[in-house]
Structure 1
Amino acid sequence: MQADANRTPDRIDALPGLGPKSRDMLAAAGITTTAQLQALGSVRAYARVRARPGNNASLNLLWALEGALTGLPWRVVAQEHRLSLLLALEALHDDAATPQRPARRLRSDPGNSSNDSVK
Structure 2
Amino acid sequence: MSDAPIETLPGIGPVTQGWLSEVGICTEGELRSIGAVEAYRRLKFMLPRRVNLNALYALEAALRGCHWLDLPQDVKTALQDQAKVIDEALRRGAAARCAIP
TM-score by length of 2: 0.72
Aligned to 1:48: 42
| Equivalent in 56, 65, 71 of residue 77 of structure 1 | 71
* Deviation, structure 1 residue 24: 0.8
Q: Map 1:16-95 to 2 at 5 A.
A: 16-53=10-47, 56-77=50-71, 79=73, 81-91=75-85
Aligned residue pair count: 91
- Matches of 1:24 and 1:78, distance apart in 2: 27
More helix, by proportion: 2
Distance 1:52 1:25 in 2: 9
Task: Specify the structure having the higher radius of gyration (Cα).
Answer: 1
Structure having the larger proportion of residues in strand: 1
> Which range is displaced more, 48-57 or 63-72?
48-57
Q: Deviations over 1:25-67 (max 9, x none)?
A: 1111111111110011111100011111566112111111001
Distance 1:62 1:91 in 2: 13
Equivalents in 2 of 1:56, 1:92: separation in Å? 14
Structure 1: gaps spanning 5 or more residues = 1-7, 98-119
Q: Conserved in 1, the CA contact under 8 Å of 2:40 and 2:55? A: yes
Structure 2 unaligned segments of length 5 or more: list them.
Answer: 93-101
Greater CA drift, 48-57 or 10-19:
48-57
In structure 2, how many angstroms separate the alpha carbons of the residues matched to 1:43 and 1:26? Answer: 13
**Identity across matched positions, percent:** 31
Equivalents in 1 of 2:56, 2:12: separation in Å? Answer: 11
Mark the CA change 1:14 to 1:81 in structure 2 (over 3 Å): closer, same or farther. Answer: same
Cα distance in 1 between the residues matched to 2:84 and 2:76: 12
Q: In the TM superposition, what is the alpha-carbon distance from 1:9 to its structure 2 partner? A: 5.9
Give the TM-score of the pair, scaled to structure 1: 0.63
